Amino acid sequence: MKKRTTPCPCLLATITVGCVVFHTRDVLNLAVDAFATQHQLSIRRNTHRSPQLHAKKSELTDWVIAGLEDKNESITSSDPIKAGEGDSLPPNGLAIGKVRIFASESADDDGDNNMQYNDDELIPIRLLAARNGWGSGVHPTTRLCLEWICDNTRDGDILLDYGCGSGILSIASIHMGASRCIGVDVEAEALVTAERNFELNGFSADGRFQGLHTREVLPYEVCPPRGASLCVANILIGQLVRPSMVAAITTNLEDGGLLCLSGIRPGEVDSLKVAYNDSFDWLDEQYAELSATETVGSIESYGFDCGIWARLVGKKRACDDASFVEQMSELAVS
């Protein structure tokens, strides 16, 4: 396969990736770019970060992290109070579900590798401050997703964390028993932040986190052969309803897998259901809403009331026939 260097204005050929046939210009551009980058050019993973910043290797693909930072300006930093993109966490941490969130240099954990907080049984999670790596628990949607992760992750689950940001949801899922997580984000700096937060929380050596740029995501290829058992996508409605994202999420989740969607307002729920109705049955008992006034640290961090947000949960229906594959191929080009 010859790599294209410029977009093709009119391309009528087809390409097969896995079991999916792509047959229009837009999806060909995406598939060819990703496939050629990974296979023909033989891009190696496990490249070194700048030694002045981090001694350990990055698992991210070379082109994702190339030129992101230098010795004078790091993507991430440590702080006793700040985490995520400048969010302020309480000195004694932020208790959500079965975890307690601390800033990376908080004085309220005991400083050892176990990071035990002695006043309760909540599992500590520490987060770096970052110029790109959203998600610390102070936003209602993060809290809604964290609570869902804590209640629904089973031993051995594989999580697809779409829009992973800081990696907070993936880290929590590992603590809840997930075997591994695939974090996807359009922001390369967020992927670096998530990877470093995994390292900060003691998971750097076991390879249980894989960070992917959205351009590396292909239908049925993220977690073959069955797909992830859980997917959480805390992303604004404009992205969640894009047919290409619907296809990416649906095809990379196993039959019977659970999908948790947030980043949405209550008034946007019906539109979101329409986008995913062909593949999911909705679990109304897991629907939830949360306001900023009910979310510890939200108004203090943002300086304003960000309002009421919602969580929608569905279960993927089994569908293996050719018409479903064709439908997903059509969505991927929309």
Regarding predicted confidence, which is higher, 20 or 142?
142
Judge if pTM exceeds 0.85: no
For range 191-204, the mean pLDDT: 93
User: Which pair of structure tokens corresponds to residue 317?
Assistant: 């229906």
What is the rounded distance in angstroms from the CA atom of residue 247 to the CA atom of residue 325?
10
Q: Are 44 and 62 in contact (CB under 8 A)?
A: yes
For range 79-89, the mean pLDDT: 93
pLDDT digits (tens, 9 = 90+) for 9-29: 333 344 443 444 444 334 434
* Angle at CA of residue 216, ends 224 and 169, nearest 5°: 75
When the pLDDT of each residue in the chain is averaged and rounded to a whole number, the result is 81
pLDDT digits (tens, 9 = 90+) for 44-74: 223 223 323 344 567 788 877 887 887 778 8
Q: Looking at residue 56, what is its pLDDT?
A: 55
Q: Looking at residue 267, what is its pLDDT?
A: 98
What b-and-e string marks burial along 250-270, b requiring 16 or more CB atoms within 10 Å of the CB?
bbbbbeebbbbbbbbeeebbe
pLDDT for 115 beyond 70: no
Count of CB atoms within 10 A of residue 202's CB? 14
Q: Looking at residue 45, what is its pLDDT?
A: 29
What b-and-e string marks burial along 41-56, b requiring 16 or more CB atoms within 10 Å of the CB?
eeeeeeeebeeeebee
pLDDT digits (tens, 9 = 90+) for 254-308: 999 999 999 999 999 999 999 999 999 999 999 999 999 999 999 999 999 999 9
Q: Looking at residue 53, what is its pLDDT?
A: 37
Q: Looking at residue 320, what is its pLDDT?
A: 61
Q: Looking at residue 14, what is its pLDDT?
A: 44
